[in-house]
Amino acid sequence: MPHGDGAIGGQSKPSIRLGVLGLLEARHDDTPISLGPVQQRVVLGVLALHADRPMSREQLIDAVWGETAPAYALNLLQKHISGLRRVLEPVRLARSKSQLLAWTDAGYRLSLPDEALDLEIFDRRLGRAQVARTAGDLPGAARALHEALGLWRGPVLDGLSSPLLDAERDRLAERRVSAIEERIDLDMAVGHDGDLVSELHQLVARHPLRERLRALQMRALYRAGRQAEALAAYREAQQFLLDELGVEPAAELQTLHQRMLRGDPELGLPVAETVHLATPEPAPTVPRPAQLPHGMAEFTGRVAELQRLTDLVDHEAAVVIAAIVGTAGVGKTALAVHWAHQVSDRFPDGQLYVNLRGFDPHRNPVEPSNALRGLLEAFAVPAQQIPTGLEDQAALFRSLLAGRRVLVVLDNARDSEQVQPLLPGSPGCLVVVTSRNRLSGLVAGGAVSVSVDLLTAAEAEDFLARRLGAPRVAAEPGAVNDIVRVCTRLPLALAIVAARAAVYPQHSLTALAAELREDGGGLDAFVGESVTSDARAVLSWSYQRLSPPAARLFRLLGLFPGGDLAVPAAASLAGVPRGEARRVLAELSGAHLLEEPSPGRYSFHELLRAYAAEQALAIESPADRHAALGRILDHYLHTAHRAERVLYRYRPAIALDPPDPAAVVLDPVDAGQALCWFLAEQAVLLAAIEHALPAGFPAHASRLAWAVTPFLNYQGKWHDWATSLTTALAAGEQLGDLAGQALTHRLLNLAHLQLELLDQADVHAGRALELFEKLGDVAGQARLHVDYSWVLDRQGDYGAALERSQVARDLFRAAGDRAGEAAALNRVGWFHSRLGRHEQALRYCHESLDMHRALDDHPSQADVWDALGYAHFHSGNYAEAMACYEQALGLWRELGDRYEVATTLLSLAEAQQAVGDTAASHTLFKQSIGIFDEIGHPQAEQLRRRLNLDV
């Protein structure tokens, strides 16, 4: 617990302090608080680990008692909450509402002052250390870690137990050990070795399986002039891992051992000097995302709201949250984005933007976990380093923003619960949330509510003047008043009318106002509960004046829930040539019924999409609607398939039915064009997969998920990959397609393997194997055993993985699949290498290579050359290893697989590093990073951080 620890930024100390990093402690100023019986302290511990986030009664009961909850658990919980309120706020008047432990619509919320919880301070200092290290300030990073670790007094909530506390104790203990490893690494980096050898001996004894600790122990001994003991420490580690797990040390530990055997002089230097000698480039720059959408040049009014937001910028005491709330179409997003652009220079560390789709009638709201992944990727956090759990993702996001000034715009939020995990935890950050919901949970927690109402009559007139010209508006004041009245001063309605008037400058505003009045109705729906029921007056007034082709496309666009569409997709939807679609889209854009956020791509406001869908249901027959969706899904499926064939032509092709003749299918001419198409369309492709199943196109859902599989995998978009395959699995079940289900389970195994979710990977591998056995597909069973070996490889069970590979070899042989048998032989060789049996590995891999050569199977030959390189490298035959990697590299280049080229360059770089050719190694690392950058893979940033490069 942080006794006497001053607050950051010169703030006054909070009156209450809570400590969870050891025994549970609470203090009013410096006076200890008696927290009551054990179970009451457990409740407080659970709430403390979820500080500033509401927990429902059900969540709390599950966290405190789990499956052993008594029938009267709710009564007990309420009793403990009352007891905690009494001891935490003893001077609170009996009839006043608790300020610390309040009940909100979402549940109980423990609201602690800034700097009151030692775990929060720990997280902030970890974040400060990360920022300092990234910026090259190694002494500052070391200091921050020493301060963070000094907060720990023992195991988290020592002596208390519950299902949640036990799980969190283990998770936080892992974070503590990782922080200790980082601190020791930094201490050595700045030359503050001190008594690290003694400390590391104790740590290794407590955590004997942590190879990073063993590497640090070896380095500390070597730097202290105790080379023999350092080498003995390696032998001890090697023997322990063989005895306990049956595995050799990882490559990092083996490489360190080799460097010590060679007497590498750089090992005796502080790491800061070593990096300077080996890589003279400056430290990488910290990414500064600038994600704000384009603002409106003709923004009107909202002077008071803009000033209220601006007043929040200089508030340094804590994270500032502004909740911009109001009805649909009132201009919440326009206000948020316009103001954000005005103050963007006040947030030099970045501006983030997420559309949370809280009220999209056709697409699900964005899950907080998906939003967090996007926010973390904006700061170049590699996909494989993003935790899978929501709480861990949120903690990483808070740590990443610690010490930075970042503006976060969370648009179209569903409710407070969707937003809570996305909030930073450090002063200097400002969050703007827009929503139709009042966000009472956020406001209760201290957010500033900025209510956006309809424009005043003067603002509405100015709105029209900015779009139509002041002279034209001033010339017909009566007509302008009528337009403003019929539009009920709603910005969206005014924009649509202004667009219509601007297209026909020769028409008088009086005539336009008369036409608008004749359509009747009003816009009560925009200020009431529904968003479309009575909004038709202005919307239909603009829609009914479209040409018939434009009106039809407008209706059909309402059927497809994807984000923005390109011209070929719109042409497919309508079943018209691209040239005609382009002309019709221009008409819709000119009428402000569509937006063109980037050249050639078009999107809807959600209210317009709802209105368009309503018109489609009223006018288009079910057969026509089904045919239109079929055409656009054919466009995405067949174009994705052709792009995949260009990028990964050696992979097995998917069997597809012919597309609808009226669907536009693109033919990428080269890998660059294919990759650009995937990158531009990835969000829409995922939406298409999600929509195809409920829309009655299960075959499209499954095949499109398979078609995007290599792209999502090589891009590191493994969460999206797993999500799309889950939809494909449901589609296969709906179709009764056992073969498709087996394939999808197999791919889900690989996706979860990439996500390090090994238990889930194992489940899908097992289910796929059952289906292949039921189908009598022996080759499919064999492939599953190969896939299983990858799971076991990640788990470090190389012996079991070898057995799986041998079973696969025998099954392929029984099925007469020579290519499969050769591939399995290569896996057998690989796992012999992993077990340290490199001579046997070479024998099996060469046998595999001979078979692949006889089959003229170039991609598989490349895999074998890579395995041969690995075996030679770990035998210490670096020249042979490099020769093998060069063979693999040539084949991957010939095949055009940029990802495999990049990974093989990494292997070559490590081999060059092992023989001491630092310059050649450095060049190869840079080439690999360049390719990862080109294909948009997160490993590029991971390598930069590992090597301290700026390329």
DSSP string, 306-336: HHHHHTTTT--SS-EEEEEE--TTSSHHHHH
Burial class (CB in 10 A: 0-12, 13-18, 19+), 853: middle
- For 361, the token pair is 């009638």
Phi and psi torsions of 552, nearest 5°: -65, -45
- Return all residues near 9 (Cβ < 8 A) that are at least 6 apart: 316, 317, 427
CA distance 161 to 168: 10
The angle at the Cα of 735, spanning 734 to 736, to the nearest 5 degrees, equals 95
Could you tell me the pTM of the whole model?
Answer: 0.52
Cβ proximity of 842 and 849 under 8 Å? no
- What is the full DSSP assignment across 826-849? HHHHHHHHHTT-HHHHHHHHHHHH
- Residue 110 belongs to what H/E stretch? strand 107-110
Q: How far apart, in whole angstroms, are the C-alpha atoms of residue 622 and residue 727? A: 24
* Segment holding 42, helix H or strand E: helix 38-49
Q: Tell me if 812 sits within 8 A of 824, measured CB to CB.
A: yes
CB-based contacts of 255, cutoff 8 Å, min separation 6: 910, 913, 914
Q: Which amino acid, one-letter code, is at 93?
A: L
The SS3 call for residue 383 is helix
At residue 610, what is the residue type?
A
Determine contact, residues 645/716, Cβ cutoff 8 Å: no
Token pair 């457990």 in the structure block, residue? 42
The pair of three-digit structure tokens given for residue 924, joined into one six-digit string: 């190869």
The answer for residues whose C-beta is within 8 angstroms of residue 676's C-beta and 6 or more apart is none
Three-state DSSP class for residue 789: helix
Phi, psi of 288 (to 5 degrees): -125, 85
- Residue 536 has a CB neighbour count (10 Å cut-off) of 19
Output the pLDDT for position 923.
Answer: 87
Residues 1, 100 contacting (CB under 8 angstroms): no
SS3 content of the chain, % helix, strand, coil (to 5): 65, 5, 30
Reading the block at residue 577, the tokens are 């040539």
Are 384 and 754 contacting, i.e. CB atoms less than 8 angstroms apart?
A: yes
Rounded CA-CA distance 140/272 in Å is: 13
The token duo for 773 is: 């056995």
Non-local (6+) Cβ contacts of 440 within 8 A are 104, 105, 416
**Distances from the Cα of 350 to the Cα of 241, 305, 430, 885, 891, angstroms:** 44, 23, 11, 41, 42
Instruction: Return d(Cα 135, Cα 521) in angstroms, integer.
Output: 60
The residue with tokens 């380093």 is 385
> Is the CB of residue 353 less than 8 Å from the CB of residue 409?
yes
The per-residue b/e assignment along 263-297, b for 16 or more CB within 10 angstroms, e otherwise, is eeeebebbbbebbeeebeeebbeeeebebbbebbe
How far, CA to CA in Å, does 697 sit from each of 275, 561, 702, 704, 712? 56, 14, 9, 11, 22
Asked whether 449 and 441 are in contact (CB, 8 A), the reply is: no
Q: Give the separation between CA 176 and CA 180, rounded to whole angstroms.
A: 6
How far is it, in rounded angstroms, from Cα 59 to Cα 556? Answer: 43
The answer to whether the beta carbons of residues 355 and 322 sit under 8 Å apart is: no
Taking the alpha carbons at both ends of the chain, their separation in whole angstroms is 43
For residue 102, the cross-strand partners are: 109
CA dihedral over 492, 494, 497, 503, signed as positive or negative: negative
Nearest-angstrom CA–CA distance, 333 and 341: 12
Query: How far from the centroid of its chain's Cα atoms is residue 440's Cα?
Result: 27
Residue among 276, 124, 266, 271 nearest 186 (CA): 271
Scan for tokens 């063979």, then name that residue: 887
- Taking CB atoms within 8 Å and a gap of at least 24, the contacts of 190-196 are 190/138, 190/139, 190/142, 190/270, 190/272, 191/270, 191/272, 192/142, 193/220, 193/223, 193/224, 196/220
Is residue 658 exposed (0-12), middle (13-18) or buried (19+ Cβ within 10 Å)?
exposed
Q: To 5 degrees, how large is the angle CA 716–CA 719–CA 722?
A: 110
- Residue 603 bridge partners (DSSP): 595
Q: What tokens were used for 310?
A: 């601006």
Nearest Cα to Cα of residue 752 among 721, 730, 797, 775: 721
Cα–Cα dist 120/148, whole Å: 10
Cβ atoms < 10 Å from Cβ of 690: 20
Calculate the dihedral angle through the C-alpha atoms of 52, 57, 63, 68, rounding to the nearest 10 degrees.
Answer: 170
Q: Answer yes or no: are the C-beta atoms of 909 and 255 closer than 8 Å.
A: no
Which residue numbers in the chain have pLDDT < 70?
Answer: 1-14, 90-99, 105, 134, 193-194, 266, 268-287, 296-297, 315-318, 327-328, 360-363, 382-385, 388, 516, 518-542, 591-592, 605-607, 650, 857-858, 936, 938, 945-951
Query: What angle do helix axes 548-557 and 606-619 make, rounded to 10 degrees?
Result: 110
Return the closest-CA partner of residue 647 out of 677, 680, 604, 624. 677
Eight-class DSSP state of 447: P
- Name the residue type at position 327: T
Looking at 558-670, list the stretches that DSSP marks H as alpha helix, in order from N- to C-terminal side: 567-574, 578-590, 606-619, 622-647
What tokens appear for 618 in the block?
Answer: 């009223």
Using CA atoms of 512, 515, 520, 525 in order, give the dihedral in degrees to the nearest 10.
-40
